[in-house]
Amino acid sequence: MCNSSAQYRVESDSLGELQVPADKLYGVQTQRCLIFFPIGGEFERQPFALVIAIAVVKKACAEVNAEFGLDPSIARAISQACDEVISGELYADHFPVPIWQSGAGTASNMNANEVICNRAIEILGGKVGTKTPVHPLDHVNMGQSTNDIIPSSMNIAVAHEINKSLLPSLNKIKSSLNAKAEEFSKIIKVGRTHVQDAVPLTLGQEFSGYVEQLNTGINQIKAALPRLYLLNIGGTAIGTGINQYQNFDKKCVAKIAEFTGLPFQVTPNKFEATAASDCMVLISGVLNHVATSLTKISNDIRFMSSGPRCGIGEISLPENEPGSSIMPGKINPTHCDSMGAVCAQVMGNHVAITIACSNGHFELNVFRIMIVSNVLQSVRLLGDSCLCTAKFCIDGIKANIPTIEKHLTNCLMLVTALNPHIGYDRSSKIALYAHHEGLTLREAAEKMGISKQQFDEWVKPELMIQPQPYKPKGGSCINSR
């Protein structure tokens, strides 16, 4: 492919001539972007998933355009070139445009048009850069605009990554947490509110809360997905469909659904889909919700495992790697740390996406490549983090029973079980007396008039982890003694 011995070739567009690297399949318009927007370096390139999605759209358009008069041989060559882009083999060398480009993804669309065009020219035996017999705009971009290709490609890329990566990973970490909830269902421990001792619950109940948090997030993602399945192909420049044929949109979207295996449909309003990127801020908001839940979960796991001897230490995490370059034997909650950093990035991405989506003006939003790059990064980071945290952290969590029992025995908030029998005020005095005098709750209760028999009958942690059957009593249930 494009193995000219010359270092550069000369190409021209409406603004004049430019030199383009001879070994590249992109052309003059991509080169202009590289000249005028050298922002961020090689690591700030348009996302791989977006390039693949653009190629899917271009392939569908070529095949439908053949039905509307495009030379079948050109359509086949374009389709074959798109397949090579979709395979990933052309991305590294031929799709260099940065995220930080002008317009609503014009450079990304032009880059794809040029690469697909030149590869199609090669397939047909022509010379790269001549625009013969395939033209990047007249043929590859036939009946299209950046303003319907890029929004549709954004939706395709994000929907694909969510289905392929994020949802399976979230289900995996949810499954891992659920397995621990079942494993720990009989282990009674101290609960905590305000990071202070509270009434007991089981370790399994605590983990079941994490399961439900993730279940809510998964359901929210699934509820948002149908919005991503709406594509504005055929809307062209501003949603009117200028330079397009009737039913082109339906035929293209049907092919995209066939190629991807996802239920894409034509959006009911191409003006909204062209002018706004609300579906992106919607899905980013859900990702922000998931990041919030995962931050809470990872922090709880971090604190419960703190120690191992001078912290809470109720659970132990797998010992995956040394935690310090100076303190021998130190093991840190590394996956909790990593998850926290990922979630912070996702939250930051959501802020940027929110600002960008709010700044669409009239019939177009011009920040789309930044928007989709942030969404795709959030999806990928959350998916990867959930998968490795489940595998290397949660699956290996063990309960430290002796520590849990010690904390439970020393918990002053077991006094809550006395409320129905002696009242809140008297129970409070017992708890504070025990705390100030360094006594156990049982010892303090005995000194304040509660017999050992009464205390043992009333204060049973196993009866404090769920509501108890109602047992009617005559008169007041509170002993005011």
CA dist., res. 141 & res. 61, Å (int)? 8
User: Does 361 participate in catalysis according to the annotation?
Assistant: no
CA dist., res. 458 & res. 447, Å (int)? 16
Contact present, 186 and 207 (Cβ < 8 Å): no
Give Cα separations from 374 to 88, 154, 201 (angstroms): 21, 11, 40
Amino acid at 187: I
E strand spans, 87-242: 188-193, 196-202, 230-231
Which position has the token pair 């990041």?
Answer: 291
Q: Which residues contact 454 (CB under 8 A, 6 or more apart)?
A: 421
CA dist., res. 55 & res. 106, Å (int)? 15
CA dist., res. 229 & res. 152, Å (int)? 9
Q: Quickly list DSSP for 349-382.
A: HHHHHHHHHHT-BTTB-S-HHHHHHHHHHHHHHH
From the candidates 5, 14, 194, 325, give the one annotated as an active-site residue: 194
Nearest-CA neighbor of 373 among 284, 289, 288?
284
CA dist., res. 323 & res. 321, Å (int)? 6
Nearest-CA neighbor of 50 among 401, 375, 408?
375
Contact present, 56 and 256 (Cβ < 8 Å): yes
E strand spans, 23-161: none
Burial class of residue 83 (count of CB atoms within 10 Å of its CB; 0-12, 13-18, 19+):
middle
Buried b (16+ CB within 10 A) or exposed e, 35-48: eebeeeeeeebbbe
CA dist., res. 192 & res. 319, Å (int)? 26
Helix, strand or coil, per DSSP, at residue 124: coil
Q: What tokens does 213 get?
A: 């948090």
17 membership: H or E segment, kind and range: strand 16-21
User: Does 324 participate in catalysis according to the annotation?
Assistant: yes
Amino acid at 263: P
Q: What tokens does 379 get?
A: 């999806």
From the candidates 185, 324, 358, 451, give the one annotated as an active-site residue: 324
Do the bridges between strand 230-231 and strand 265-266 make them parallel or antiparallel, or are there none, so unpaired?
parallel
Give Cα separations from 39 to 22, 322, 335, 391 (angstroms): 23, 38, 32, 37
- Give the residue numbers annotated as catalytic, written as ranges: 194, 324
